[in-house]
């Protein structure tokens, strides 16, 4: 009997859903894994999934409101993560929503799974611009299976003006340098997220998605 893994990409009106889905298909094919991808905002689909991906594009506040405006979606994501303890991959603002709160536009509560807050990046160098946009190196500061076979100082694609300031540095597994060290990836038990976009990061991004599909807790 062929085992199929169900992976849901959470659709709440933001994020590069089609790009993420196509990158996920390539990632699965590269490791010979059979997956069924659902792009959905239905709580039932979320709860029945083996893994979920939470994308995010735009402001922290817009994304949080977008999820809360869909009946049962916020609670089903919480149940998937905290009660079912299944793997989640947050991308960009999707990762930022793991925090306690964000300070973009207005103070907005997040899921609160990883202690910390999302605040605007403060730069002293006037030649550096916001958003921090384009390719940048990542510093893998903690070895883990999610970055298996990805070399330190590999390049990934970023687009952001706000940074997740994580309280417990044990939850930061990867940083990037943009005048200062910024959080690039977080991990806490079944909760994984990146500030950069794997779906825009070519070979390295596909490899990371493959590792997520292979990730077992």
Q: State if pTM tops 0.85.
A: yes
Taking the domains of the chain in order of start, what are their residue ranges? 5-214
pLDDT surpasses 90 at 100: yes
| Cα–Cα distance measured from residue 192 to residue 84, given in angstroms and rounded to the nearest whole number | 15
The alpha carbon dihedral of 71, 75, 76, 77 has a sign of positive
pLDDT of residue 16: 81
* Mean pLDDT calculated for residue range 76-88: 98
pLDDT bracket for residue 43 (50, 70, 90): very high
- What is the residue-wise DSSP string for 110-175? ---SSSEEEEE---S-TTS-SSEEEEEE-EE-S--GGGTT--TT-EEEEEESEEEEES-GGGEEEE
**Residues identified as active-site:** 92, 197, 199
Q: Are strands 51-54 and 180-188 parallel, antiparallel or unpaired?
A: unpaired
| Domain covering 5-214, topology | Rossmann fold (3.40.50)
């Amino acid at each position: 009997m062929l085992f199929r893994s169900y992976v849901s990409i959470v659709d709440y009106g933001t994020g590069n859903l089609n790009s993420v889905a196509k990158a996920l298909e390539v990632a699965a094919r590269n490791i010979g894994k059979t997956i069924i991808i659902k792009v959905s905002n239905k709580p039932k689909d979320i709860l029945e999934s083996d893994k979920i991906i939470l994308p995010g594009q735009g402001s922290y506040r817009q994304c949080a409101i977008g999820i809360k405006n869909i009946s049962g979606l916020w609670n089903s994501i919480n149940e998937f993560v905290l009660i079912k303890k299944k793997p989640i991959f947050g991308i960009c603002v999707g990762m930022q929503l793991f925090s306690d709160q964000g300070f973009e536009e207005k103070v907005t509560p997040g899921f609160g799974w990883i202690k910390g807050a999302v605040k605007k990046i403060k730069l002293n160098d006037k030649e550096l611009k916001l958003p921090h946009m384009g390719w940048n190196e990542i510093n893998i500061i903690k070895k883990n299976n999610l970055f298996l076979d990805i070399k330190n100082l590999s390049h990934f694609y970023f687009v952001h003006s706000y940074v997740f300031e994580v309280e417990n540095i044990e939850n930061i597994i990867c940083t990037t340098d943009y005048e200062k060290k910024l959080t690039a990836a977080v991990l806490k038990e079944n909760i994984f997220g990146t500030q950069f976009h794997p779906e825009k990061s070519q070979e390295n991004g596909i490899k990371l998605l493959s590792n997520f599909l292979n990730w077992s807790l």
